[in-house]
Amino acid sequence: MDISLFGRLTLDSFKHNGIEMGATLMMVFMAAFAVIFLTYKKLWKWLYHEWITSLDPKRIGVMYLFVVFLMLLKGAIDAIMMRAQQAMSSGDSMGYLSADHFQQLFTAHGTVMIFFVGMGIVFGMINLIVPLQIGARDVAFPFLNAVSFWLFFMGFMLLNVSLMVGEFSAAGWVCYPPLSGLKYSPGVGVDYWIWSVQIAGVGSLFGGINFLVTIFKMRCPGMTYMRMPLFTWCALATMILVIFAFPILTVTITLLALDRLMGMHFFTSTGGGNPMMYVNLIWAWGHPEVYILVLPAFGIYSEVVSTFSEKRLFGYVSMVWAIIAITILSFIVWLHHFFTMGASANVNAFFGAMTMLIAIPTGVKIFNWLFTMVRGRVHLTSPMYWFLGFVIIFTIGGMTGILLSIAPLDFQMHNSLFLVAHFHTVIIGGVLFGFLSGFTYWFPKFAGFKLHEGLGKCAFWFWFSGFCFAFLPLYVLGLMGTTRRLSHYEAETGWQPFFMCAAFGAFLIAIGIAFQMIQLIVSVKQRNQNRDLTGDPWHGRTLEWDTTSPPPLYNFAVIPTVYDQDAFWKMKETGHTKPDPKEFTDVLMPKSTPMGFIIAVFGFLFAFGIVWYMWWLAIIGIIGVIASAIAHLSEEECEYVITKAEIEKMEGSTYGT
């Protein structure tokens, strides 16, 4: 093992092919542009005081979503490049990507979309919405919340540094050994994967602890568990899954890191280890992770459908029990990810039955949403478009999932594109469409104006049609025997027309993303025209709408009391939606601090040092993390007072916007 000053970092680590150099130069250009813009506009102090040091969950939620949009763009570019390669690489044509570069794209795409887009969506939306929905002024542990985000951000940075310095993993987004072992992946790619996921995963675990305590302990008076909004219920279930599942991920990839760094053999069969232990452990985390991603989306659909049907959600109690059932069952279905391992018929039968069983509470939720629309005054707004698209796509994904839960069928289709199509049908149709629905629905709450409806609907139709073109052909290809991770195939197979169709679908999705960017730009320019929501059902039924748009730092001037599941609509009926100034009191809020950011920076240095065997840098990083945490504990009381007079002034000038 190299113990020189720069470890295994050499000038060759900066050499890349033309495509990789183009991506590197683009990143450098964007970073330089950001620095020049912030300097020219003199925004560095604003960035530091208002965002980097902020403990406000609303600002942290916005920062999560900022990272999500950046990584969604990267993940989409990766997907388009892979589909273009597959469309062009039939017969004598080898396409434009090398096999190794294709596998790096494949790994990066999965890692980005699951760990940084999916988890960023979860914690971004929960930061923005849950404290408002439960009538809380803050989260239980504001500083821990900031540390969670900045660790997530540094994981995102470490992954992107791999584009410029070294390479990324080519072992797949779950990095199965022995391919991810030192023998078959001696470079830095797998190490980048391990530590970017590890840093972000620890941040997610901290976030899970924080929001579980927040929901348990900080609900406003009168908000019993059976009066909580469905989004908060889904957030609660998600945080329980995070707390139980993410330690498994942390331990699993720590063991893999020890195999690579210290010559241990937890997963090396020639050294007495067992690669199947890794597969078991990674999916013991991985299948709960699917529901960590999709449950918040289910909560979003519950809010959207009820609001735009102008009707109370059908079957609230059954929806709650469905969430609880999904939470429990999600931990006993992981083995269906490797039916082909050669387990006994009894083992396969049990996990197949559990996989079919978990479809029941999911089906209950879909039927309840549809029954909510029956005899309601349905408004086909853009959030509802995303919901209706979800129902169609997710139902297809559910039916194909039932097929894959049958072990003999899974033996035939497991390593094929049929499985890839199923997974994307569930995740894009469920998670991503849910996020886009919720983002559009709650955007007026945090920006003070609505997004442009026409452009939003155009974006939906490109997304929906692009999805159908991109992934439905993959089901056919899977049945024809096309395997996953394929960068080249023979012309005689007849697969190329389907791959070309899939590439066309990816192009349509790219147009949909472009429409969303245009929608945001146009909406900002026309924001003064879109502030009036009078007579519009956009204001929801739950408590987050019972404050100004955007909400003040303290969320609520007076902590509300809840008497019903549909708290805000009940308040509107009784005419008690505006706080009484007589009830205003001074409010204590946490002081901003840069220590969360500093801890994460040292965490980044530690990870970068480990990746490149720069042990001095790793030591500085770990010492810095510990010292920063101790320094935060010794900081002065981290609270400041917003006085009653200041609240009266703010409420008088902004309430009702």
CA distances from 471 to 87, 428, 494, 505, 648 (A): 14, 10, 17, 8, 54
| pLDDT number for residue 636 | 64
- Write the pLDDT tens digit of every residue in 232-258: 999 999 999 999 999 999 999 999 999
| pLDDT number for residue 533 | 67
For 21, list phi and psi in degrees, rounded to 5: -65, -40
Report the mean per-residue pLDDT for the chain.
92
Reported confidence tier of residue 397, pLDDT bands at 50, 70, 90: very high
d(C-alpha 523, C-alpha 534), whole Å: 18
CATH topology of domain 1-89+97-292: Cytochrome C Oxidase; Chain A (1.20.210)
Q: Can you spell out the DSSP letters for 329-348?
A: HGGG-GGGGGGGG---HHHH
Task: Map tokens 């059954």 to a residue.
Answer: 318
| pLDDT number for residue 637 | 60
Lowest mean pLDDT segment, chosen from 14-18, 98-102, 326-330:
14-18
Element holding 590 (H helix, E strand): strand 587-590
Q: For Cα atoms 313, 318, 324, give the angle at the middle one, nearest 5 degrees.
A: 115
Torsion sign (Cα): 307, 309, 311, 313: negative
H-type helices in 112-185, by residue range? 119-133, 142-164
| pLDDT number for residue 341 | 85
For 634, list phi and psi in degrees, rounded to 5: -95, 0
Q: Print the SS3 string covering 256-281.
A: HHHHHHHCCCCCCHHHCCCHHHHHHH
In this predicted structure, the answer to whether residue 536 has a pLDDT above a threshold of 80 is: no
| pLDDT number for residue 230 | 96
Closest C-alpha to 174, from 278, 262, 323? 278
In this predicted structure, the answer to whether residue 656 has a pLDDT above a threshold of 70 is: no
- Burial 336-375, CB ≥16 within 10 A → b, else e: bbbbeeebeeeebeebbebbeebbebbebbbebbebbbee
d(C-alpha 586, C-alpha 641), whole Å: 7
| pLDDT number for residue 657 | 42
| pLDDT number for residue 655 | 44
**HSE of 506, CA atoms in CB hemisphere, 13 A:** 23
Instruction: Return the number of other C-beta atoms located less than 10 Å from residue 184's C-beta.
Output: 12
Q: Can you spell out the DSSP letters for 446-500?
A: HHSSPPPHHHHHHHHHHHHHHHHHHHHHHHHHHHTTPBTT---B-GGG--HHHHH
CA distances from 400 to 125, 328, 404, 432, 472 (A): 29, 22, 6, 19, 11
- Write the pLDDT tens digit of every residue in 485-509: 999 999 889 999 999 999 999 999 9
Q: Which two tokens stand for residue 54?
A: 């902020």
Reported confidence tier of residue 67, pLDDT bands at 50, 70, 90: very high
- Write the pLDDT tens digit of every residue in 27-60: 889 889 999 999 999 999 999 999 999 999 999 9
In this predicted structure, the answer to whether residue 604 has a pLDDT above a threshold of 90 is: yes
Q: Are 153 and 323 in contact (CB under 8 A)?
A: no
Q: Are 206 and 147 in contact (CB under 8 A)?
A: yes
H-type helices in 41-56, by residue range? 44-47
- Write the pLDDT tens digit of every residue in 264-322: 999 998 888 999 999 999 999 999 999 999 999 999 999 999 999 999 999 999 999 99
- Write the pLDDT tens digit of every residue in 110-139: 999 999 999 999 999 999 999 999 999 999
Closest C-alpha to 523, from 591, 449, 473, 587? 449
pTM score: 0.95
Q: Are 580 and 133 in contact (CB under 8 A)?
A: no
**Residue 441, amino acid:** Y
- Write the pLDDT tens digit of every residue in 353-373: 999 999 999 999 999 999 999
| pLDDT number for residue 535 | 64
